[in-house]
A and B are shown apart, each in its own frame.
Chain A
């Protein structure tokens, strides 16, 4: 659905996006993560046919960037960093304007549908300027969805939303995924990315890494099992002589064991610990959060200025 090859954008001497190679499948929720100034917005602007790449190219929804720009804009929806609403116009007029620009078949009906979906129908005639931050964000998301785009670019969709509204947006993303819509999600909310995205890309001018969050964690940190013991046992790490154990760290009464295949190896690990006299309270998997992984990778890719 989105394929880029060597996509590059320079602003004078500054390179904002450097040789980006991406492939996003239809129906995929793809997280695009990176710090402020990493070039995420520039990337989205290029992919939404708003600005031209300096080098490289891309195919969006089967259309070539640069030759079918208008058709690309017809097929994608963009939620920008700020809601960008006409404050003096009512919520309904805001949406109607965009629905008509996209030549939506029945604009009135479509606007009603989305205003109701986001619980804004009762205040449809109020100026958008009188809306709360959360309501404005919901209205902006409704605007991006009005023309039922094949690809949706969402820049921080839950920023400024209360937990209930944020859940509405996340549920909506799940619904869109089930309808085979492709979602390109730029976010700083790494927990959200972890929960929603099929794959994530860590990006800072260049692509740092890309993959499923779980697979990235495994590749970077391996899989680790935490065994909580009722009481500590001296020298247990030396006694645990199982061939599949890669590394053992002991922290108080916890053993952190690196394994290759925990599902297969955990039973033997627990059995051996019991044989050694350990009183196992419970066994969990140590999950490195996406946030920790993000911070480690960004630190590793930090270029001193």
Chain B
């Protein structure tokens, strides 16, 4: 078994035993999906087709925020947890490479975030289909699907990068969580744009945000990779 896979399994095993992580990964998506379905089915304006479309559009934006929020919860506890438990040095003393360590930490957060986000999205669509019928689903256009499936990995990656950088300087999980919270901004920005311009999702906006996110991810990951070198971890991390 590759060391990367061994590390990933360990990370997930630990996360499953951490209530704070479980809350962020499981409970939050459940609450958001349930609230969205409730709004669309029995909320104000849900009795006419236009109102349902507006509510449906608003709900879809949650699936741009979840890929940023979920990895934040996992990454904070994964990195600060190692610091708090003083497990980093024994781990670094093994033959694991810096790249495997970095990828292990990053993927341990990104993979569950994408899986949970897309499962939540599927559950949400299924629930709407059963409870409301096909009307709101008509608003699920290609730009929306591109946003949810194309931007999600970038949003997750950006969030993990920011969290890794913040966690390397933070000595406790709460502080790291607070400082990392701004990593969800790229997920909120389209929400603000769509709400203020009162337009439906535009493919040009999706492509523009995708481009900006790729650059932002590259910059953030560049610094995160530099921080995740043995030497840096043992001599510079707080």
Contacts and interface: CB of A to CB of B under 8 A. Distances in A.
B95 A74 contact: yes
Contact of A98 (B1, B88, B90): B90
A152 B96 CA distance: 18
Interface stretch (B37-45, B51-59, B111-119, B228-236): B228-236
Interface size on B, as a range, is 20 to 34
Nearest to B88: A84
Interface string B212-238: 000000000000000000110011000
Interface residues of A, number: 33
B25 to A, nearest CB: 15
Given A50-B93, A70-B95, A88 B17 contact: yes
A73 interface: yes
B14 A86 contact: yes
Nearest to A155: B89
Interface in B62-101: 85-97
A233 interface: no
Interface in B15-45: 17-18
Contacts of A127: 17
A70 B97 contact: yes
Contacts of A76: 93
Nearest to A76: B93
Contacts of B89: 50, 78, 80, 84
A102 interface: yes
A89 B14 contact: yes
A86 B85 contact: yes
Interface of A: 11, 45, 48, 50-52, 70-71, 73-74, 76-78, 80, 82-89, 93, 97-98, 100-103, 127, 140, 143-144
15 contacts: A70-B97, A74-B95, A84-B87, A84-B89, A85-B87, A86-B14, A86-B87, A87-B85, A93-B10, A97-B6, A100-B1, A101-B3, A103-B95, A140-B90, A143-B90
